[in-house]
Amino acid sequence: MELNYQHEGSGHPLIILHGLFGMLDNWISLSRKMAENFSVYTVDQRNHGRSRRHEVFNYHAMVDDLLEFMETHEIESAYLLGHSMGGKTVMQFSFDYPEKVDKLIVADISPEEYDHSHDKLIEAMMSVDLSKYASRSDVDKDLKEKISSPRIRQFLLKNLYWKDRSSLGWKANLEVIQESLSEIFRALGSDQPFIKPTLFIRGENSNYITDVHIPRIKELFPNSEIETIDDASHWLHAEKPDEFLYITERFLRNN
């Protein structure tokens, strides 16, 4: 699996993985700032962005993708940062290959199981007849009938691309993602906890990491700390980039 990526900076390697329906483009501004201190690789996971599509879509496959990526780029070990689905990918990777993870940062996700609240997002995207529209604003009007939040619509619309001069398409492999949601939202576990330094960053207004999730986090990641960004939702890195950057770099720089 050849993954699309962007590389900037020099220093210790830092690999960033986006969440469900995301892509490396969501991290461009932050990765450029992080590249002032680290060698930053921002990656499109399979079935997302400009990376290849594949009918297999689960964490074992995405862990294999990350391992292959590190081997291809001769990265012996790295700092890993993942948001949402990307956070679960890097958590599973830390269980499977702890020797390749120097520090771990997980943005607004826990190892617990979640419900399939994203079903309606996929259904809304798949219901749009893209052949009828010639602009993103037209697609936005269609989605507005099903998704009221402008922020979520704009996030999803970043998946639009021009297949040719006259037809739009979705970058995300919606059919495979829809079939794989139970796998994407399942709980993670390991017989051996990951004992290296780990940071969980949560949004104050998000329900993805609540106090209910903390005991399991501490069980699987005993050397972890949890930081909360005030007045931030699940998309905390986009809403509060300065706070996110400060917390992340402080953690990575501390011995």
- What domains are there in the chain, each with its CATH number? 5-114+189-253 (3.40.50.1820), 119-179 (no CATH)
**Token pair of 230 as six digits:** 């005030």
**Token pair of 10 as six digits:** 């020099």
Query: CB of 222 within 8 A of CB of 122?
Result: no
Instruction: State phi, psi for 85 to the nearest 5 degrees.
Output: -55, -40
Give the residue carrying structure tokens 């999730």: 213
Of the candidates 83, 213, 234, 237, the residue annotated as catalytic is: 234
**Token pair of 253 as six digits:** 């720089």
Q: Could you list the mean pLDDT of each consecutive 10-residue stretch along the chain, which spans 255 residues?
A: 95 97 94 97 97 96 98 98 97 98 98 83 92 91 90 90 88 94 94 97 96 96 97 93 97 89
Of the candidates 84, 94, 110, 233, the residue annotated as catalytic is: 84
Of the candidates 175, 227, 239, 249, the residue annotated as catalytic is: 175
Kindly provide the residue ranges of all beta strands, DSSP E only, lying in the chain, ordered along the sequence.
Answer: 5-8, 13-17, 39-43, 78-83, 101-107, 160-162, 168-170, 198-203, 224-229
76: Cβ–Cβ under 8 A, 6 or more apart, which residues? 70, 100
Whether 175 is catalytic is yes
Whether 84 is catalytic is yes
Whether 234 is catalytic is yes
> How does pLDDT run across 159-214, given as a tens digit for each residue?
999 988 788 999 999 999 999 999 999 999 999 999 999 999 999 999 999 999 99
Smallest CA-to-CA distance from 84 within 60, 59, 109 is with 109
Q: What is the pTM (predicted TM-score) of this model?
A: 0.94
